[in-house]
Chain A
Amino acid sequence: VCIHRVRSCSSIRFIKSKYVCVFDKSALKFSHQQRLFRTSAVSCGQIVQFKLSDIGEGITEVTVKEWYIKEGDSVSQFDSICEVQSDKASVTITSRYDGVIRKLHYSIDDIAFVGKPLVDIEIDASKGVSAAEDVVETPPMSHEEHTHQEIKGHKTLATPAVRRLAMENNIKLSEVVGTGKDNRILKEDILNYLAKQTGAILPPSPKAEIVPPLRKPEAVPAAPKDKAHKIPVPVSRPIAFSGKDKTEPVTGFQKAMVKTMSAALKIPHFGYSDEIDLTQLVRLREELKPLAEIRGVKLSFMPFFIKAASLGLLQYPILNASLDENCQNVTYKASHNIGVAMDTEQGLIVPNVKNVQVCSVFDIAVELNRLQSLGSAGQLGTSDLTGGTFTLSNIGTIGGTYAKPVILPPEVAIGALGKIQVLPRFNDKGEVFKAQIMNVSWSADHRIIDGATMARFSNLWKSYLENPALMLLDLK
């Protein structure tokens, strides 16, 4: 059914169509006042063909590039319908009507013609179609201007309740800044706007313009006519939560992690935790930090932790091993490729420092710097991310004390380092002193590693860090 728009016509036009329903007096009266042309009753929606309006510059055809809606979607006036392109200009086409999309006349990449139908919209029978105008012309300031002013050209920016409030207070929605999701205008924004209006004078005082929109409305002035708003300072926002659950498929890296973690938890884990006094190491690092900086390298604690772990692994090589699929063979890895858990945009990734057993603390620091900058740029390569034999996770940089790390297959052990806290401890003389304490939580594969081995390794690692001079003795 094709309906031609009629401009401000007081006569009612009858439509010959299959969709004419029972003639309802109330609908007739309504449409007469609004100078409409529809006659169908409340129960029937009317299909209107929304034509592609003039783009300007004499352009007659455009290419449809993206649809923002699909058949069956509800749209409001000024919602975005699609994006079309013509000769380097991208145009957002917005809906003129409230209703439901019934038909899209074009597919993506089709050529659309100006003046020809773009979509069919079924208009709500109860609402009228106001004065028909070309979308290009600036609509006259009217009743609609208050309720339907559009700002972004995307989905509707205010709920009907908010629009009504704006209208009652003679506020143009385009002048109100929305603070809700997608710049949605909330009731608070209208109230804030009102609050500022009564205070604003011309020329405006500096404070009035520069104060940012307040999150919670302060005193509400007398302006709002709505009785409910006479109560000042709403303590809690009305519970109008319009959030919806969002379901997304698990893809890509996340999907791979699901597999890995599921397999990891099949490994029988046991945990072992301890407390390390890093007071001496802190002092040592303070000394060495500027020297490393002169060489252009940032020195954190990790290079020390990593090197100490490698020295420990030399004594307890079973922690640097791998168990095959059928648990038939244990492979003792020659290289200590120690992984460092990194938090990136992707999620948790674990690049590793290769051959720590032949690296100095400084070498490790250099390599860590390289891995960290690649990690933050999202440019780690496959070789950086494969071949790890043992992992340390410095979760303490974010927070936490004790943790329960999960072993990353095909490894057999992992350590999680908590944050360094300044705590009171007793020294040999029984005096209380300020100690730099860090907690470590190890997890190991109980199929081939026993508690005693883990404990001894941890004690050795701990001794190297509590007394860095000891590391010097055993350095290779």
Chain B
Amino acid sequence: MVLQSFKNCLWLSCVLRTPKACFWSTASGGFVIQSVSNDVYQNLAVEDWIHDHMDLEKQQVLFLWRNSPAVVIGRHQNPWQECNLRLLRQKNIKLARRRSGGGTVYHDLGNINLTFFTTRKKYERMENLKLVVKALKALRPQLDVHVTDRYDILLNGQYKISGTAAKLGRTSAYHHCTLLCNADKFVLSAVLKSPNIGLKSNATPSVPAMVKNLFEEDPSLTSEMLLDAVVKEYAVQHQIDHRIISINPADETLLPGISNKAKELQTWEWVYGKTPKFSISTCLNMAYKDSVLDIKVNMDVKHGRIEVCNIDLPEQWLPSGLYSELVKSLTGSKFCPNETTALVTTLLRMCPQDNELHSRWSLLCENIIRLM
């Protein structure tokens, strides 16, 4: 049930702005909100906003959201390690880094996200997940779903249908989880497989799991039904109205400062620059004329920028001046294909106009860019 009356918006804005919402008897215990947006950055920004601005002492909040295709990595993860970035770019799938920990997930409209906001004291992931399982069982009693001690929800004892992550601040906390209703499993497995570039890092690795959609188990299930079931159970457990309030993440009046939060989540510095230090060590196999060259490449990347760069070229394959110029320019530059393409093509302007030289340069640079 989604009500969008003016009164609700008004009520919501009061609740969000003036924490002393005890005047509103309907607000006691908590409430449920659902985002009207499918933009992963906007929705993550709503989570940030509620975490930073709301007083959750008197009420808890359940936030429901779905995203158009996106890969979401955990706070301390390495996108190069976790997914196939080339494929993401080709398919126009967004990449986002959330503020909670945990592993990488693929979102599309067939996946629903649930965020449980509480005070830090009332932070209890197991309870939340048990609530979800109870809701699923109430909807379809024959479903074999249970919570594991890794905070996953398994279907039939083997397929993962939900993953969990959490964020704790000074006074408030949130626990969010996914729920696979009808997501595209083929795209999911393709994008979450990263190419091997000899990456070494201490970033949190994801634990791959076999997944299944609830829709595959019971084709009569839809995302709406699952959402409704969870809301119903939440309402019962928190003794509140079974009612969902729509929230527009673009509404700056209701959520002041939210567009800045959404913007920050999209910056390169956040998505890629927050990657813990890592190194790559690989061999480029370049077919040139009649031979195949094996070029060893080693790079250290910190804050998403190349700190150290070593390319083992055969002697005089490129004029030494040009080679050192390349290495010098790459050092300190972003480990980013776009930036590197612009960089190498600009450097080429300074080279003598020699077709042979140009083709060698292009070949080498394209192979290096492919690593990013």
A residues whose Cβ falls under 8 Å from a Cβ of B: 55-57, 65-66, 78, 83, 85-92, 94, 108-109, 135-138, 150-153, 174-175, 177-179, 183, 202-204, 206, 209-210, 212-213, 249, 251-253, 255-257, 259-260, 263, 322, 324-325, 331, 345-347, 349, 377-383, 385-386, 408-410
Given A94-B170, A204-B14, A379-B338, A256:B329 Cβ within 8 A: yes
A368 CA to B200 CA in the complex, in Å? 41
- Option from B103, B168, B252, B362 in Cβ contact (under 8 Å) with A383: B362
Tell me, yes or no, whether B89 is within 8 Å of chain A by CB. Answer: yes
Q: Is the CB of A253 within 8 A of B18?
A: no
Distance in Å from the Cβ of B8 to the closest Cβ of chain A?
13
Residues of B within 8 A of A (CB): 6, 10, 13-14, 17-19, 23, 52-53, 55, 57, 74-76, 89, 92, 99-103, 119-121, 123-125, 151, 164-171, 173, 202, 204, 252-253, 256-257, 260, 274, 276, 305, 329, 332-334, 337-350, 352-353, 358, 362, 365-366, 369
Question: Which residue in B10, B101, B119, B173 is a CB contact (below 8 Å) of A88?
Answer: B101
Q: Which residues of A contact B169 (CB under 8 A)?
A: 91-92, 94, 153
Q: List 17 A-B contacts (CB under 8 A).
A: A57-B125, A91-B167, A91-B168, A108-B276, A109-B202, A135-B170, A138-B119, A151-B53, A175-B19, A183-B52, A209-B17, A253-B346, A259-B346, A259-B347, A347-B342, A380-B341, A410-B349
- A210: which of B13, B119, B257 is its contact (CB, 8 Å)? B13
A89, B13: Cα distance in complex, Å: 29
Interchain CB contact under 8 A, A212 and B170: no
Take A65-B76, A88-B165, A383-B362 as given contacts and tell me if A252 and B256 are in contact as well, using a CB distance cutoff of 8 Å.
no
Docked pose: A260 CA to B343 CA in angstroms: 11
A210–B253 touching, CB < 8 Å? yes
A203 cross-chain contacts in B, Cβ below 8 A? 14, 23
Q: How far, in whole Å, are A251 and B333 apart by their CA atoms in the complex?
A: 5
Cβ-neighbour of B256 out of A136, A212, A259, A263 (below 8 A): A212
List B contacts of A252 (CB < 8 A).
Answer: 329, 332-334, 339-340, 342-343
Q: Which residues of B contact A378 (CB under 8 A)?
A: 338
Q: Is B339 within 8 A of A209, CB to CB?
A: no
Query: Please, which residues of chain B bring their CB within 8 A of the CB of A345?
Result: 338
Q: Which residues of B sit under 8 angstroms from A183, Cβ to Cβ?
A: 52, 257, 260
A153-B252 contact, Cβ under 8 Å, with A136-B120, A382-B365: no
What chain B residues lie within 8 Å of A256 (beta carbons)? Answer: 329, 342-344, 346-347
Measured between C-beta atoms, what is the minimum distance from B21 to chain A in Å? 11
Q: What residues of chain B lie closer than 8 Å to A85, measured between beta carbons?
A: 75-76, 101, 204
Inter-subunit contact B52/A152 (CB<8 Å) = yes
Q: Which residues of B contact A212 (CB under 8 A)?
A: 252-253, 256
Among candidates B121, B173, B305, B365, residue contacting A138 with C-beta atoms closer than 8 Å: B121
**CB-defined contacts of B337 to chain A, threshold 8 Å:** 379
Given the interface pairs A150-B170, A252-B329, A385-B345, the reply to whether A209 lies near B19 with Cβ below 8 Å is no
Contacts of B100 in A (CB 8 A): 88-90
**What residue in chain A is nearest B171 (Cβ atoms)?**
A138
| Residue of B53, B173, B274, B353 with highest tally of chain A CB at under 10 A | B353
Query: Least Cβ distance of B366 to chain A in Å?
Result: 6
- Say which residue of A109, A209, A249, A349 sits within 8 Å of B332 (CB atoms): A249
The one of B14, B74, B92, B329 that contacts A255, using a Cβ cutoff of 8 Å:
B329
Inter-subunit contact A92/B76 (CB<8 Å):
no
| Distance between Cα atoms of A378 and B346 in the complex (Å) | 16
List, in ascending order, chain A residues with CB within 8 A of B167's CB.
Answer: 89-92
A-B pairs with beta carbons under 8 A, tally = 195
Which residues of A sit under 8 angstroms from B124, Cβ to Cβ? Answer: 57
**Pairwise interchain contact B168-A209, C-beta atoms closer than 8 A:** no
**Sample of 14 further A-B pairs with CB below 8 A, known A85-B75, A89-B166, A135-B170:** A56-B168, A87-B151, A88-B101, A90-B76, A92-B170, A138-B119, A179-B256, A212-B253, A256-B347, A259-B346, A260-B349, A379-B89, A380-B342, A382-B366
Do B353 and A89 touch across chains, with their CB atoms under 8 A apart?
no
Q: Are B333 and A259 closer than 8 Å at their CB atoms?
A: no
Q: Taking CB as reference atom, which chain A residue is nearest B172?
A: A153
Give A359 to B171 CA distance when docked, in angstroms: 65
* Chain B CB within 10 A, most for which of A347, A379, A382: A382
Q: Give B90's nearest chain A residue, CB to CB.
A: A379
Q: In the complex the two chains form, is B341's CB within 8 Å of A385's CB?
A: yes
Closest beta carbon of chain B to A269's beta carbon, Å: 16
User: In the complex, how many angstroms separate the beta carbon of A74 from the nearest chain B beta carbon?
Assistant: 19
Among A203, A252, A325, the most chain B Cβ lie within 10 Å of the Cβ of A252
Complex Cα–Cα for A92 and B55 (A): 17
Q: Do A346 and B338 have beta carbons less than 8 Å apart? A: yes
Docked pose: A377 CA to B167 CA in angstroms: 32
The 10 A-B residue pairs with the shortest CB-CB distance in the complex, in nearest-first order = A252-B333, A88-B102, A90-B101, A385-B345, A89-B166, A256-B346, A251-B332, A378-B338, A91-B168, A253-B342
What residues of chain A lie closer than 8 Å to B333, measured between beta carbons?
251-253, 255
CB distance from A68 to the nearest CB of B (A): 12
Cβ–Cβ < 8 Å partners of B347 in chain A: 256, 259-260
A424 CB, min distance to chain B CBs, angstroms: 42
Q: Cβ of B345: which chain A residues have Cβ within 8 Å of it?
A: 349, 382, 385-386
- Chain B residues whose C-beta falls within 8 Å of the C-beta of A55 in the assembled complex: 168
Would you call A174 and B350 a contact (CB within 8 A)?
A: no
The chain B residue sitting closest to A385, CB to CB, is B345
Which residues from chain B contact A178 at a C-beta distance below 8 Å? 257
CB of B151 within 8 A of CB of A88, answer yes
The winner among A210, A383, A408 for most chain B CB atoms within 10 A is A210
From A108, A209, A324, A349, contact of B10 by CB (8 A): A209
Query: In the bound complex, what is the Cα–Cα distance between A314 and B12 (angstroms)?
Result: 68
On whether the beta carbons of B170 and A260 are closer than 8 Å, the reply is no
**Which of B23, B204, B346 counts the most chain A CB atoms within 10 A?**
B346
